[in-house]
Structure 1
């Protein structure tokens, strides 16, 4: 596999859930959704050479999905419950905004995780990096499973507050 195809595949893997959700918001039939999603994936790979790596990938992929959905809707134009182009455009904008918000929240989460120290950092690492359940963590660090679950709950709340604080700071600046 050449490097361009590898990059397209990486980017598509990250964008696929948002693109799939956008398609599902417009295309009612689940078989048609799969077909449209597959058409979008092919179009993304085929036109990846035109993608500007300095711009966000998800909106670019949603733009391709919007065109593929438009093609699908034109073929189904006799269906009285089909969205018009303006409705599809509004949905594409909404999904783009949601993808940006999720991306920012993910970045904030990484920052907040980096600020964890001591036991909190160890607990989160064991739970999410090592995929251990509270009972396994408890035996690993000499705590009760209940104490581990409660401590994890407090750390998740701390992370949530940190992310919310960063969102407020970003919107203020």
Structure 2
């Protein structure tokens, strides 16, 4: 693997740790087991990094690896009081994979809706949700009251919510 490919893979792996953790957590009840399986999953992902095709869905690939690590965990710990049920774990895994795919759709639709906002509204949202952004800082910068800025942000979020709901409904053919 070339150095830039290694760097890209590490960036993907670290950027998606929280999603991977949440996915594993949805399949295992014990937080220590989740940490153990996440660590093992990361090792397997690293060992198999050359199998990942750049441009494909990293999260889906990583979750599939995590799924098999969860199954291995249950197999190796079947003496525990919890009964190992492959069908249940499979059903939970499928539901969570669908949720992750849905969150990608939601992000895409939200980006599209943000682009439709007037420039001033889009800039206000970006200021508010940028690292360290606050209503207080925006109010001071614009010479407005905190209440006025809060009200503007509320209205913009309402517009975004309506846009996202309409877009998702039209994509689903409703």
TM-score, length-scaled by structure 2: 0.90
Instruction: State the 4+ residue runs in structure 1 displaced beyond 6 angstroms.
Output: none
Verify: 1:63 aligned to 2:64, yes or no: yes
Q: How does 1:134-145 map to 2 (within 5 A)?
A: 134-145=135-146
Partner of 1:16: 17
Instruction: Tell me by how many angstroms 1:82 deviates.
Output: 3.8
Instruction: Tell me by how many angstroms 1:136 deviates.
Output: 1.4
The question of whether the paired residues in 2 share the 8 Å contact of 1:40 and 1:64 is answered with: yes
Which whole-Å deviations, capped at 9, do the CAs of 1:102-141 have from their partners, x for residues lacking one?
0011111111111111431231122113632112111111
SS at match of 2:127: helix
| 2: CA distance, partners of 1:89 / 1:130 | 38
Partner of 1:46: 47
Aligned pair count?
173
Partner of 1:83: 84
| 2: CA distance, partners of 1:144 / 1:126 | 16
Q: How does 1:1-173 map to 2 (within 5 A)?
A: 2-129=3-130, 131-172=132-173
Q: Give structure 1 stretches of 5+ with no counterpart.
A: none
- CA distance 1:14–1:164, shift in 2 (3 Å): farther
TM-score, length-scaled by structure 1: 0.90
Q: Give structure 2 stretches of 5+ with no counterpart.
A: none
Which whole-Å deviations, capped at 9, do the CAs of 1:72-104 have from their partners, x for residues lacking one?
111111123143111111111111100111001
| 1: CA distance, partners of 2:108 / 2:49 | 25
Which whole-Å deviations, capped at 9, do the CAs of 1:17-63 have from their partners, x for residues lacking one?
23212211232222221111011011112112112335422221111
The question of whether the paired residues in 2 share the 8 Å contact of 1:58 and 1:96 is answered with: no
| 2: CA distance, partners of 1:59 / 1:130 | 28
